[in-house]
Amino acid sequence: MKLIYEKSKAGRRAGSLPRYDLPNVEVPEDLRRTAAPRLPEISEPELVRHFTALADRNFGVDTGFYPLGSCTMKHNPRVNERVVNLPGFRDLHPYQEEDGAQGALELMWRLQEILAEVCGLHAVSLQPAAGSQGELTGLMLMRAYFADRGEADERRVVITADTAHGTNPASVAMAGYELQKVETDDRGNLDLDDLRAKVDGRTAGLMLTNPSTLGLFDEHITEVSEIFHDAGALLYYDGANLNAVCGISRPGDMGFDIVHINLHKTFSQPHGGGGPGGGPIAVRDMLEPFLPVPAVVRDGDAFRLDHDRPKSIGKVRGFGGPFGVFVRSYAYIRAYGPALREMSEAAVLNANYLLARLKDVYDLPFDRLCMHEFVLSASNLKREHGVTALDVAKRLMDHGFHPPTIYFPLIVPEALMIEPTETEAKETLDEFVEAMRAIAAEAATDPQTIKDAPHRRPVRRLDEVKAAKRAVVKFGFEEHPDLAPVKSEAGGEAIEAAKGA
Amino acid sequence: MSHLSLTDADREAMLAAVGVASVEELFRDIPEGVRFGRDLDIDPALSEPEIVAHLTELAERNVDTGKELSFLGGGIYDHYVPAVVDAVLARGEFLTAYTPYQPEMSQGVLQAIFEYQTAICELTGMDVSNASGYDGTTVAADACFVAKHATGRSKVVLCETVHPQVRQVVKTYAPGFGLEVVEVAHDGGVTDPDELGKASADAACVIFQQPNFFGCLEPAPDLASAANEAGALPVAHVDLVSLGVLEPPGAYGCALAIGEGQGAGNFQSYGGPHYGFLAARSDLVRRMPGRIVGETTDLEGERGYVLTLQTREQHIRREKATSNITTNQTLLALAGLVHLSWLGPQGLREQGETCMALGEYAKERLGLPLVFPDRTTFKEFAVHVGRSATDVIRDARAQGVHPGYALGRDYPGLDDAVLVAVTEKRTPEDIDRLAEVLGEVAR
Amino acid sequence: MAAEESYPEELRYHAEHDWARVDGDEATLGITWFAQNALGDIVHFEAPEQGIAIANGESYGEVESVKAVSDVIAPLSGEIVEVNAKVIEEPETINEDPYGNGWLVRVRLSDPGELDDLLDAAAYRKLLESL
């Protein structure tokens, strides 16, 4: 398919803006643009066709089953799109005076209250733009808290699980902490002996997801929380897996002091091909003074932005955060009301159903009931037929499914992490089971077809090695021929390097 | 519950397959002590029409730019967003897709990001762009992180004329990065290159904004030279809308170009979500944060797109990653691409010219003393209003006009100054109306 | 095209999967077949600069594949006298010929006594079996 730049034709233009009969203002010569940027010159019909063609080459939750573990690819209700586009939200400037933004501030305040209740904690900031920014913010809160108590120099270490999402150690490094890892035991819980050996007066805190990335609820979470609190440390909850326990178990009650929530996972903000998201944080009361500024507060019947927070860590993102994301999540939660637990119950039922029907054909690292997701291993297929988790993933595409997460968590070789979410129908789950079983059977009879998959997507398997070795990250225009210009009626240039991997 | 597809019969069959008697049993691994024993104390459930009614009521209590003639700017602008942006963003294949880790499922998003990266490089004159950062503030923190690792130095220099929230966010991130932050005061609304040079002696990077927060054009090439001479990386925080008429950072020696993309393709939306952009010189590519899409071929030699250089990122490099960023702002960057394609090079240039021409017209019609006379401005300028700016804003708004941002909130000594932004959505008649109202309420 | 698994007898090995070929007071260093196999197709070698000192047991660079990045650990201490330009240009050479054309750096040794702490081929093979 052609790039939009390859469809560009001098003199074409989709846009029109008003022009006024006013004198032109000259930009000083040394600041004036000399060479025009090579943006596409395209008409509106061609523009629409181009992006429609791109959409046709993409697969979303709207298209089909998307069981990516720890991503919570649930259906995104369309009413949320209608309300986010209300002019009172869409066309509201963030520097509008508070009396002109009461509806927005009230929505934010109500969402804060809901998230505090869901987490079992006391105060919330909606400011962080995504889960990993929420993590970094949480770690900054930890540092501010200990600095306030005169313990900053001692408390240098944050402990994460060996099953942790990669953002956890990256956030720890960005926050200037040292990282320590704790092991997972045979049941998929944190190894308490390993933990006790590692927690001491140098520990600032724990970063943990519960249920873990194995989809397992830590049966000793109460002991874990005691170990850290007894050492004077804090507990941070990575909310990536919150979809499993809403209204059923609250992170604050488990002992966590800081929680980030992924609005784009649990609360249906559409993933948008990679973003936007929202990563609000909820904290126990002793941490409230350190939250980012401004805080959204209620003052009688009115709602205000409170900038007077002398102990605040500062600001992690512009304005109050990604407001459009708040609108969608608030509308989503209002559709459930206090019955939000039904969401988690269905998510956990769907996952356990898939697990029950697949554990006899794939290796099962942990034989327990799962929460909202579970991990299988394709090690048996690799051992017996040379078919890897990657191959299984690519072959699932031919069956019309997006693959699950692969090669994560790191402690399970050939991992397949599957999270169906609560919005899937039983029929879809049954079709997925059939496809997974068919692939396992095909591995024995015709592994090569699996290794050459996908066969039915707009492209065949792509060469990621080539892309990393010689990174071509923008269109070359006339200067550099592209790797394989599209064979077109006009007759593209023949580039020797293009053919083959 | 309309979001759920399971029927009672489904649940029964599924529980039987799992081998448990009830849904309750599925949660048996949760210790009794952490079970939540009551219903959540949150607002009651609403049906779809009730959700729309409730949210509409909340929305109507906001004074948006449809209800008030607004000259508010300060980093977020009321630029025109074309209808094609709405149409493209509504496609479920974009809206509901995940990050494109499985490229064969995601060629639409991957190619769109590649096209976006190309557009950002063209506009900024840089060699490589990432797939977006959170917003215009966090990309400044990202740039500092890049500069620290590229130079080995631990100080960053910010011009006072850089957006106050950008500076605040950099200062929030700095302790964790082990960075010292130094500010260079403005001199008559712009930055003095010599002062900047002196402050940059042992700096990892220097961040300046073009046009700056006051709307003034900085002597950007001289600022970049001063930084380069001091061995600090010049980082230009720029406005995409201005890059049809202003020389891009890549043409005058910058190492990084960053900024807030909202003005190109996103609605104001009370501050977000929008997209930050970050582009760099080719030698810095392996230090860049965020996702990068690259071109490759498939098994049959057909062209395709993949995420590349992923070893920079958290899912592989973990604690040594160039950033912890995972979710970014892809959908909003896609809106930016559509918008920029809709404009084309002529359209972008004309938009810039129109903003400048309207700005000049506004300066004349308002007849108020300019805070920084004799400075060329792009689409914003600061005026003295003779008394408290917040009072003037209040009184003007009582007549349905919002004259702009009260600069005294962020700059001492400017309590009587208002930052007036004029985009192509304001007409000469709108400006006449502003002049009329300010004529009454300002002194 | 990756090489066949091998661990040449004349080399000495470090537990972090690096090898050394000693030649008088200099040594050539690289990564073993096991390391390149674990990484997969190598796409980049982040090399140290000529003239810098490297220390036994510490990282002196990084090797990257599409799906992983790995520190390269120095088995011996010394000063970098040459970086292999070929693997910078064509990193896949490390997969194809990890002990020959896929060498990474040459060093002038600062403490030849460190050689005694390294494993011979048999001991290294034994280590691999226990992994």
Can you state the percent helix, strand and coil of chain B, rounding each to 5?
A: 45, 15, 40
**Per-residue pLDDT, A493:** 33
Residue B198 sits in the same domain as residue B285? yes
Spatial strand order of the sheet with C12-14 comes to: C12-14, C18-23, C26-31, C105-109, C78-83, C53-54
Pairing of strands A178-182, A157-161: parallel
Does position A491 have pLDDT exceeding 60, yes or no? no
What digits encode the pLDDT tens for the residues B207-254?
Answer: 999 999 999 999 999 999 999 999 999 999 999 999 999 999 999 999
Q: Read off the amino acid at residue A284.
A: R
Q: What CA–CA distance (Å, rounded) separates A349 from B2?
A: 17
Using 50, 70 and 90 to split pLDDT, how confident is the model at A492?
Answer: very low
Q: Which of B111, B324, B325 to mutate to test the interface with A (most CBs of A within 10 A)?
A: B324
Using 50, 70 and 90 to split pLDDT, how confident is the model at A489?
Answer: very low
Neighbours of B189 (CB within 10 A): 22
Q: What CA–CA distance (Å, rounded) separates A440 from A450?
A: 10
Percentage, residues of chain A above pLDDT 90: 89
Does position A488 have pLDDT exceeding 50, yes or no? no
> What's the pTM?
0.93
Instruction: Please indicate, yes or no, if residue B290 is contained in any of the structural domains.
Output: yes
The verdict on B28 touching C (C-beta cutoff 8 Å) is no
Q: Do A315 and B267 touch (CB under 8 A)?
A: no
Touching partners of B (3+ C-beta pairs < 8 Å):
A, C
Q: What CA–CA distance (Å, rounded) separates B380 from A218?
A: 55
Residue B203 sits in the same domain as residue B313? yes
- CATH numbers and ranges of domains, chain A: 81-339 (3.40.640.10)
Please say which residue of B306, B337, B368 terminates a domain: B337
**Per-residue pLDDT, C3:** 77
Does position A40 have pLDDT exceeding 90, yes or no? yes
- Residue A9 Ramachandran class (φ > 0 left, ψ -120 to 50 alpha, else beta): beta
Mean pLDDT rounded to a whole number for chain B: 96
DSSP annotation of A318 reads S
Instruction: Please indicate, yes or no, if residue B55 is contained in any of the structural domains.
Output: no
Instruction: Please indicate, yes or no, if residue B53 is contained in any of the structural domains.
Output: no
Q: What CA–CA distance (Å, rounded) separates A280 from A130?
A: 8
Instruction: Please indicate, yes or no, if residue B21 is contained in any of the structural domains.
Output: no
Give me the mean pLDDT over the C99-117 stretch.
94
What digits encode the pLDDT tens for the residues B305-339?
Answer: 999 987 777 676 676 777 777 788 999 999 999 99
Instruction: Please indicate, yes or no, if residue B365 is contained in any of the structural domains.
Output: yes
Q: What CA–CA distance (Å, rounded) separates A483 from A475?
A: 10
Out of B286, B310, B317, whose CB is closest to C66? Answer: B310
- Residue A459 Ramachandran class (φ > 0 left, ψ -120 to 50 alpha, else beta): beta
Q: What CA–CA distance (Å, rounded) separates A470 from A451?
A: 25
The nearest alpha carbon in chain B to C64 belongs to B311
- Which residues have C-beta within 8 Å of that of residue A386, sequence separation ≥ 6? A447, A451
Residue B75 sits in the same domain as residue B185? no
Contact between B123 and B240 (Cβ < 8 Å): yes
Does position A482 have pLDDT exceeding 90, yes or no? no
The nearest alpha carbon in chain A to B309 belongs to A468
B and C: number of Cβ contacts within 8 A: 15
Residue B328 sits in the same domain as residue B367? no
Tell me the nearest-neighbour CA distance from A445 into chain B, angstroms: 22
Q: Read off the amino acid at residue B177.
A: F
**B310 contacts in C (CB within 8 Å)?**
66-67
**Per-residue pLDDT, A486:** 53
- Residue C44 Ramachandran class (φ > 0 left, ψ -120 to 50 alpha, else beta): beta
Q: Which residue has the higher pLDDT, B116 or A491?
A: B116
Spatial strand order of the sheet with C42-46 comes to: C42-46, C59-65, C69-73
Contact between B424 and A22 (Cβ < 8 Å): no
**Per-residue pLDDT, A494:** 30
Out of C44, C46, C67, whose CB is closest to B316? Answer: C67
Residue B104 sits in the same domain as residue B194? yes
| Sign of the dihedral through C-alpha A367, A369, A370, A374 | positive
Q: Which of B60, B99, B258, B326 to mutate to test the interface with A (most CBs of A within 10 A)?
A: B326
Q: What CA–CA distance (Å, rounded) separates B354 from B360?
A: 10
Q: Do C43 and A468 touch (CB under 8 A)?
A: yes
What digits encode the pLDDT tens for the residues C25-75?
Answer: 999 999 999 999 888 889 999 999 999 999 998 999 999 887 778 889 999
Q: How many domains does chain B have?
A: 2
Residue B364: CATH number of its domain: 3.90.1150.10
Q: Which residue has the tokens 């403005």?
A: B186
Residue B284 sits in the same domain as residue B408? no
Instruction: Please indicate, yes or no, if residue B272 is contained in any of the structural domains.
Output: yes
Q: Which of A6, A21, A49, A59 to mutate to test the interface with B (most CBs of B within 10 A)?
A: A59
Does position A498 have pLDDT exceeding 60, yes or no? no
**Per-residue pLDDT, C1:** 53
Residue B288 sits in the same domain as residue B403? no
Angle at which helices B107-124 and A44-56 cross, to 10° = 130
Q: Helix, strand or coil for residue A56? A: helix
Q: What CA–CA distance (Å, rounded) separates C115 from C119?
A: 9
Instruction: Please indicate, yes or no, if residue B24 is contained in any of the structural domains.
Output: no
Structural domain containing residue B164: 84-337
Pairing of strands B205-210, B233-238: parallel
Neighbours of A336 (CB within 10 A): 21
Using 50, 70 and 90 to split pLDDT, how confident is the model at A484?
Answer: low
Q: What ipTM does the predicted assembly reach?
A: 0.97
What digits encode the pLDDT tens for the residues A160-184?
Answer: 998 888 788 888 888 889 999 999 9
Angle at which helices B107-124 and B330-366 cross, to 10° = 30
What digits encode the pLDDT tens for the residues A416-458?
Answer: 999 999 999 999 999 999 999 999 999 999 999 999 999 999 9
Does position A233 have pLDDT exceeding 80, yes or no? yes
The radius of gyration of chain C from alpha carbons, rounded to an integer in Å, stands at 13
Angle at which helices B138-151 and B164-177 cross, to 10° = 40
| Sign of the dihedral through C-alpha B380, B266, B269, A19 | positive
Using 50, 70 and 90 to split pLDDT, how confident is the model at A497?
Answer: very low
The verdict on B317 touching C (C-beta cutoff 8 Å) is yes
Q: What CA–CA distance (Å, rounded) separates B84 from A49?
A: 11
Q: What CA–CA distance (Å, rounded) separates B167 from B159?
A: 9
Q: Do A465 and C67 touch (CB under 8 A)?
A: no
Please say which residue of B313, B337, B361 terminates a domain: B337
State the DSSP string of A167-198.
HHHHHHHHTT-EEEEE-B-TTSSB-HHHHHHH
Contact between B78 and B65 (Cβ < 8 Å): yes
The verdict on B320 touching C (C-beta cutoff 8 Å) is yes
Residue B94 sits in the same domain as residue B234? yes
Q: What CA–CA distance (Å, rounded) separates B432 from B419?
A: 17
Using 50, 70 and 90 to split pLDDT, how confident is the model at A501?
Answer: very low
Chain C residues interacting with chain B (CB cutoff of 8 angstroms):
44, 46, 64-69
For B200-275, where are the alpha helices, taking DSSP H only? 220-229
Residue B141 sits in the same domain as residue B76? no
**B316 contacts in C (CB within 8 Å)?**
67-69
Tell me the nearest-neighbour CA distance from B274 into chain A, angstroms: 8
Q: What CA–CA distance (Å, rounded) separates B38 from B29?
A: 19
Residue B77 sits in the same domain as residue B99? no
Q: Which of B65, B78, B71, B69 is nearest to B263 (CA)?
A: B78
Tell me the nearest-neighbour CA distance from B254 into chain C, angstroms: 24
Tokens encoding A185:
């035991």
Percentage, residues of chain A above pLDDT 70: 95
The verdict on A213 touching B (C-beta cutoff 8 Å) is no
| Sign of the dihedral through C-alpha A64, A68, A71, A74 | positive
Strand partners, C54: C78
Residue B351: in which H helix or E strand, if any?
Answer: helix B330-366
Cis peptide leading into residue A409 (ω within 30°): yes
The nearest alpha carbon in chain C to B312 belongs to C69
**Per-residue pLDDT, A163:** 87
Residue B221 sits in the same domain as residue B355? no
Please say which residue of B296, B319, B337 terminates a domain: B337
Tokens encoding A1:
């398919």
Q: Which residue has the higher pLDDT, A301 or A488?
A: A301
Residue B277, φ and ψ in degrees, nearest 5: -120, 150
Residue B250: CATH number of its domain: 3.40.640.10
What digits encode the pLDDT tens for the residues A339-370?
Answer: 999 999 999 999 999 999 999 999 999 999 99
Instruction: Please indicate, yes or no, if residue B95 is contained in any of the structural domains.
Output: yes
What digits encode the pLDDT tens for the residues B151-194?
Answer: 999 999 999 999 999 999 999 999 988 999 999 999 999 999 99
Touching partners of A (3+ C-beta pairs < 8 Å):
B, C
Residue B417 sits in the same domain as residue B429? yes
Q: What CA–CA distance (Å, rounded) separates A28 from B244?
A: 14
